[in-house]
Structure 1
Amino acid sequence: MYIPFDQLPPQSRVWIYQASRPLTEAEQAEIERTMERFATEWSSHGKGLQSSAALLHGRFLVLANNEEATASSGCSIDASVRFVRELEQQLGVSFLDRTQLAFLNEGEVELVSVPELKAKVETGDINRNTLYFDTLITNYGELQQAWPRPAGNSWLSRYF
């Protein structure tokens, strides 16, 4: 069962997928329609999930499930990954590349490769206060309250 994204309970589980490039307006519109359709049909062992989906900052696919209503299972998570892979092929964009980190730089999403990170920290281009889109966030409440978050308040803190 689909529920509007802004009506998810704070404890809802989220999965965040980051696009490897900016998405065009046409791609964003298509993704939003497709994501809502997927969330409406998403199920776990034949039981519909109380789920939602959103495209944030024109770049991040967020799938969500109210785990208190119906817990997601390995099969339902596998179905969501298949869905994301289908989008990748359809659009010619990667959503599963975890070697790129996203930062908010002057109002724009900037991707930095993991190997580049240390140099960017050393030059001061990225510091502990630079806003970071942490794709490891796992619940809706944290997404609403602390996303993006200062890099120093994430797993990146070890670089500062």
Structure 2
Amino acid sequence: MFVNFDEIPEDAKVWVYPSSRKFYPNEIPEIEEKIKTFIAEWKADDASFKASYQFLYNRFLVITADDITTPLKNSDIDDSVAFILSLQETYEVALLDRMNICFKQGEFVQYKDLKDFKKLLKNKALTGKSIIFDNLITTKQDFENLWEIPIEESWYSRFLK
């Protein structure tokens, strides 16, 4: 069942999908409608299942599901991955590439591969104070507290040396 993001417990599962490009304003309403439809139909046979999403910076799709009250099966995860793959194909973006890094540069969100990210650090275009998005977080609590943090406070800090 689709619920407000705030109704999902702190220990719920979270998946962050960064897009390889910013979504265009004319794409966003359609994407959000597809996400809401997917969540409403995801595990529709289980009335106690709750899930939600956030669409942030016109680039990040964040899906959360209360897997504590209603455990997710492998087939449920497969359904969500199939949905994300369909978005990738429809909008010609990468959403599942975990080897790329997202960070803020001024007011803009950048999406770079690891090699380019390391070059930016080496050339001092980014510093330890630069904001990075940790898209590998797994719980709603981590999303709310550790997703958007300075590089020096993240696991990416090992690249500062």
Under TM normalisation by the shorter chain, which class is it?
over 0.9
1:159 and 2:159 equivalent? yes
CA RMSD of aligned residues (A): 1.5
- Identify which range, 3-12 or 15-24, moves more after superposition: 3-12
Question: Aligned ranges for residues 1-160 of structure 1 at < 5 Å?
Answer: 1-43=1-43, 46-47=45-46, 49-160=49-160
Give the whole-Å Cα distance in 2 for the aligned partners of 1:137 and 1:50. Answer: 19
Q: Deviations over 1:5-39 (max 9, x none)?
A: 13221111100111110101121111111111111
Aligned partner of residue 94 in structure 1, secondary structure? coil
Structure 1 residues not aligned, in runs of 5+: none
Contact 1:42-1:76 at 8 Å conserved across structures:
yes
Q: What count of residue pairs does the alignment treat as equivalent?
A: 159
Structure 2 residues not aligned, in runs of 5+: none
Letter in 2 for 1:47: D
Contact 1:17-1:60 at 8 Å conserved across structures:
yes
TM-score w.r.t. length of structure 1:
0.92
Contact 1:103-1:111 at 8 Å conserved across structures:
yes
TM-score w.r.t. length of structure 2:
0.92
4+ residue runs of structure 1 moved beyond 6 angstroms? none
Q: Deviations over 1:12-68 (max 9, x none)?
A: 110011111010112111111111111111129x53531112211110111111122
